[in-house]
Structure 1
Amino acid sequence: MSDRYTVISADCHAGADLLDYKPYLEKRHHDDFDAWAATYVNPYEDLLADTADRNWNSERRVTELAADGIVAEVVFPNTIPPFFPSASLMAPAPTREEFEQRWAGLRAHNRWLADFCSLAPGRRAGVAQILLNDVDEAVKEIRRVKAEGLTGGILLPGAPPGSGVPELYSASYDPIWAVCEELDVPVNHHGGSASPPLGDEPAARAVFMVETTWFSHRALWHLMFGGAFRRHPGLKLVLTEQGSGWIPGVVEMLDYYHDRLVAAATKAVGATAATAESKFGAGLAASMGRGPSEVWRDNCCVGASFMRPHEVPLRHRIGLDKIMWGCDYPHDEGTTPYSREGLRIAYAGLAREEVAAMAGGNAARVYGFDLALLDRLAAVHGPTVEEIAEPLKEVPAAATSPAFAPGGSVRVW
């Protein structure tokens, strides 16, 4: 048995430099791309800084992650795809007029990502992007990116109020769930991707911080109560960078409402006067199937980015086989270059097999990484078991990740 951990970050971000997307667009979009790029003003300071190339400089990225003890990564988007007003993770849903160009932009990103992942064979699981406006096109793209070798699954866009697309519990998305089940493609829902626009008032940023994770959590109960997992029992849902401490309480709450509605509807069968609650629950058991806690156990995982110490005592209630640590490279809130310290502050004192599962084993299983390959890399770059077992006594002065924030409590939503 190796004396080092094989660390896989289940949450990293990448994308091409703006103009480098052009070769990945179909030629019929090149003139429009030139016009768009000529007037585009990037809204993100980190994508204009001298460190922006961490998003697309493969050699730099491999070197920095390896120095941080990380040998593989799940790669979510970060930079601006063609024809988008902002990063696609946060961009509003396209209008009918924008739809074709936005799809072209996402396909360009997916093509670029496949090439980017190929530069570090076996070390990157790229997460492809889709739109929900056209389910048939989404299914075609899922098949295409799977064939191109992207193993990170798809990024499920949010459907915030006012988005103009059906809510995620809608059966209209069944073809997407079906192809993901068929091809063993994880469905990833990333924090920050489902909030409605809040405007430019001074309080908007604070309100966003309070509400953004809740809006991302909604995908969990939408798919559960919508019956997606009953109709597609092999479907895998991963909730990433949304924290993890909220999960036990929310799943218990969902069980409560599920049981209450199903029980009321069952008792009302044959009764002359049904209660309002029984009407709400009518058909739920048949359409949903298993209860929320069973669905969580069988179908769901959490990308627990920079897992914080107050979340760790809940690991058995969340499920040790569900938790996938992530460093969030190259974001400021990520743990790089202090990921060893981030692992220590969370996992020091835990059993070796527990740390191995959360730090890399679970991600290898969910995303299909070859552990034999990664174990060989970890034998050189991975943090030692002894190192991670040592409690962190002093937070690095330059650390900016919430993983190192003092105090903290378990979120209830």
Structure 2
Amino acid sequence: MSDRYTVISADCHAGADLLDYKPYLEKRYHDDFDVWAATYVNPHEDLLADAADRNWNSERRLSELEADGIVAEVIFPNTIPPFFPSSSLMTQPQTAEDLERRWAGLRAHNRWLADFCAAAPGRRAGVFQILLGDVEEAAKEIRWAAGAGLKGGLMLPGTPPGSGLPELYSRAYDPIWAACAELGVPVNHHAGSASPPLGDEPAARAVFMVETTWFSHRALWHLVFGGVFRRHPGLKLVLTEQGSGWIPGVLDMLDYYHGRLVSAATEADTAEAKFGAGLAEGMGEAPSRVWRDHCYVGASFMRPHEVPLRDRIGIDKIMWGSDYPHDEGTYPYTREGLRFAYSGVPHAEVAAMLGGNAARVYGFDLDVLDPVAARVGPTVAEIAEPLKEPPADATSPVFARGASVRVW
């Protein structure tokens, strides 16, 4: 047994500096890019600050992650791709021209990301982007990305109310699921990608905080009740940065409705029969069984009150994440965050949640990473030591009062 943990963050973010996307665009879009870039005003303060280069500065990133005890990362998008007004996670194209240009912008990001991952062999699993408005184009991009070595898999956009897109349970998306299942590409659904616009009222921010994870959770029951895993048994779904404590209760609730609808479908004279008609065969196994066979959670900065639920969630399902380089992430206090959450948890379980599960899901080679961890990883003894108080200048919500049952 090693005396150090091999820590893989299953939730980090990166992207190119704005102008650095241009070489990755097809030349026919270069003039349009110049016009767009000349007038674009970035709405995100963290992408204008001195620390913004953490998103694209490969050497700085490796150095800071190693200093924080992390040896590898799954990389979700962060910076703004060409032709998007703000985050690519939440903005729906409004016209056919929007769709074409934004596809070009996402392809540029994906190709930049492939090069960024190649700059640190074995240490980065890039999550590539698609749009849902052209399913066949999405399937082509999935095949390209798998061939380009983007092992982090697919970033599944949301279908928020008002988007005009088919719901995720629709069979219209079967070419996407089929390509991912065939190629072993994980499907990732990150928090913040499925919420509808809420306007600019002061209460909107609070309502967004309350609802955003719920809107992200919806992907689970859409795909389960839509029978996606039954039709595509090789599919893997990862729900990231949505917490993890909700999972046992939601699985119980989904199992209840699954059983109720299947039962109702066999009783034609009941008032509920119409809700279960045609579902029993399509849905397949109970949701808790689907979770066990197909699903994982990117449990960014797991909190102490979630850790006792690990057996009900599935220890082999939990993948810790630091959310680097976001302010709410654990950097530069990852070791303290891990002590806060995992002190007192058996070594083998901690090792699985901190890196072993992510290595299995995303295809990291531990023979490559373990020697790095032997140099920079947190020690078993260190993580076993309870944290007496949070760092005074820590910004991660993992340490926030009210974010955990543990009281300082």
The TM-score bracket by the shorter chain reads over 0.9
User: For 1:289-308, what aligned pairs fall within 5 Å after superposition?
Assistant: 289-308=284-303
Matches of 1:89 and 1:389, distance apart in 2: 37
The one of 270, 276, 279 equivalent to 2:271 is: 276
Match of 2:126 in 1: 126
The one of 395, 398, 403 equivalent to 1:403 is: 398
Residue 276 of structure 1, CA deviation: 2.7
State the Cα deviation string for residues 372-410 of structure 1 (Å, max 9, x = none).
Answer: 111110000100000000000110011111111224469
State the Cα deviation string for residues 14-65 of structure 1 (Å, max 9, x = none).
Answer: 0000000000000000000000000000000000000000000000000000
Match of 1:388 in 2: 383
1:41 and 2:41 are equivalent in the alignment: yes
User: For 1:214-229, what aligned pairs fall within 5 Å after superposition?
Assistant: 214-229=214-229
Letter aligned with residue 315 of structure 2:
L
Match of 1:22 in 2: 22
Letter aligned with residue 324 of structure 1:
M
Matches of 1:93 and 1:227, distance apart in 2: 28
Matches of 1:375 and 1:406, distance apart in 2: 35
Match of 1:348 in 2: 343
Match of 1:60 in 2: 60
Match of 1:143 in 2: 143
Give the unaligned 5+ runs of structure 2. none
Match of 2:104 in 1: 104
Residue 94 of structure 1, CA deviation: 4.0
SS at match of 2:393: coil
The one of 369, 374, 377 equivalent to 2:372 is: 377
Q: Is the 8 A contact 1:9 1:325 kept in 2?
A: yes
Matches of 2:16 and 2:403, distance apart in 1: 36
Letter aligned with residue 356 of structure 2:
G
1:328 and 2:320 are equivalent in the alignment: no
SS at match of 1:276: coil
Letter aligned with residue 321 of structure 1:
D
Matches of 1:8 and 1:59, distance apart in 2: 17
Residue 201 of structure 1, CA deviation: 1.1
The one of 356, 365, 369 equivalent to 2:360 is: 365
Q: Is the 8 A contact 1:117 1:123 kept in 2?
A: yes
Match of 1:256 in 2: 256
Q: Is the 8 A contact 2:304 2:404 kept in 1?
A: no
SS at match of 2:398: helix
Matches of 2:208 and 2:24, distance apart in 1: 34
SS at match of 1:98: helix
Matches of 2:311 and 2:94, distance apart in 1: 41
State the Cα deviation string for residues 184-205 of structure 1 (Å, max 9, x = none).
Answer: 0000000010000011111111
Give the unaligned 5+ runs of structure 1. 269-273
1:11 and 2:29 are equivalent in the alignment: no
Letter aligned with residue 288 of structure 1:
M
Matches of 2:393 and 2:184, distance apart in 1: 40
Matches of 1:333 and 1:243, distance apart in 2: 13
SS at match of 1:91: coil
Residue 334 of structure 1, CA deviation: 0.1
Matches of 1:213 and 1:221, distance apart in 2: 14
1:246 and 2:246 are equivalent in the alignment: yes
Match of 2:117 in 1: 117
Q: Which region of structure 1 is more displaced relative to structure 2, 274-283 or 111-120?
A: 274-283
Matches of 2:93 and 2:351, distance apart in 1: 39
Letter aligned with residue 76 of structure 2:
F
Matches of 1:390 and 1:218, distance apart in 2: 37
Matches of 1:29 and 1:14, distance apart in 2: 23
Q: Is the 8 A contact 1:93 1:164 kept in 2?
A: no
SS at match of 1:203: helix
Letter aligned with residue 320 of structure 1:
I
Match of 1:271 in 2: none
Letter aligned with residue 57 of structure 1:
N
Letter aligned with residue 379 of structure 2:
T
Letter aligned with residue 235 of structure 2:
L
Q: How many residue pairs are counted as aligned between the two chains?
A: 405
Letter aligned with residue 400 of structure 1:
T
1:339 and 2:328 are equivalent in the alignment: no
RMSD: 0.9
1:157 and 2:157 are equivalent in the alignment: yes
Match of 1:314 in 2: 309
Letter aligned with residue 383 of structure 2:
I
% identity of equivalent residues: 80
Q: Is the 8 A contact 2:93 2:102 kept in 1?
A: no
Matches of 1:52 and 1:152, distance apart in 2: 22
Letter aligned with residue 265 of structure 1:
A
Letter aligned with residue 327 of structure 1:
S
SS at match of 2:125: strand
The one of 280, 287, 311 equivalent to 2:282 is: 287
State the Cα deviation string for residues 167-197 of structure 1 (Å, max 9, x = none).
Answer: 0000010110001000000000000100000
